[in-house]
Copies of this chain bind each other. A is one copy, B any other.
Amino acid sequence: MNTEPLLQYISKYIDLTKDETAILLSKLVYRKYLKGQYVLQQGDVCKHACFILSGCTKTFYMDNKGQEHIVVFSIEDWWASDVGSFITQTPADYNVLCLEDTELIQFSYEATEVLYIEIPKLERFYRKIIESALAASQKRIVHNFSLSAKERYLIFRDSYPKIEQRIPQYMIASYLGITKEFLSKIKSQLILEQ
Contact residues in B for A7 (Cβ distance below 8 Å): none
Contact of A144 among B87, B133, B141 (CB under 8 A): B141
- Whether A141 and B71, one on each chain, are in contact in the complex, defined by CB atoms closer than 8 angstroms, is yes
- Chain A: residues with CB nearer than 8 A to chain B? 61, 63, 65, 67, 69, 71, 83-84, 87-88, 93, 116, 120, 123-124, 126-128, 130-142, 144-146, 177
Which residues from B are CB-within-8-Å of A130? 127, 130-131, 134
- Copy tally for this chain in the complex stands at 2
CA gap between A65 and B88 in the complex, in Å: 40
Residues of B within 8 A of A120 (CB): 120, 123
Find out whether the CB atom of A135 lies under 8 angstroms from the CB atom of B69: no
Q: Is the interface of A mostly helix, strand, loop or mixed?
A: helix
Whether B71 and A132, one on each chain, are in contact in the complex, defined by CB atoms closer than 8 angstroms, is no
How far is B93's CA from A123's CA once the two chains are assembled, in angstroms?
Answer: 27
Measured CA separation A67–B138 after assembly (Å): 17
Chain B residue with Cβ nearest A126 = B127
* Complex: A90 Cα to B75 Cα, angstroms: 27
For A139, the chain B residues whose CB sits under 8 A away are 84, 93
In angstroms, Cα B88 to Cα A131, docked, is: 10
> What is the bound-complex CA distance between A132 and B137, given in angstroms?
13
Nearest-Cβ distance from residue A59 to partner chain B, whole angstroms: 9
The minimal Cβ–Cβ distance linking A144 to chain B, given in whole angstroms, is: 6
Inter-chain contact A138/B135, CB cutoff 8 Å = no
Bound form: Cα–Cα A173–B93 in Å: 26
List of B residues within 8 angstroms of A71 by Cβ: 138, 141-142
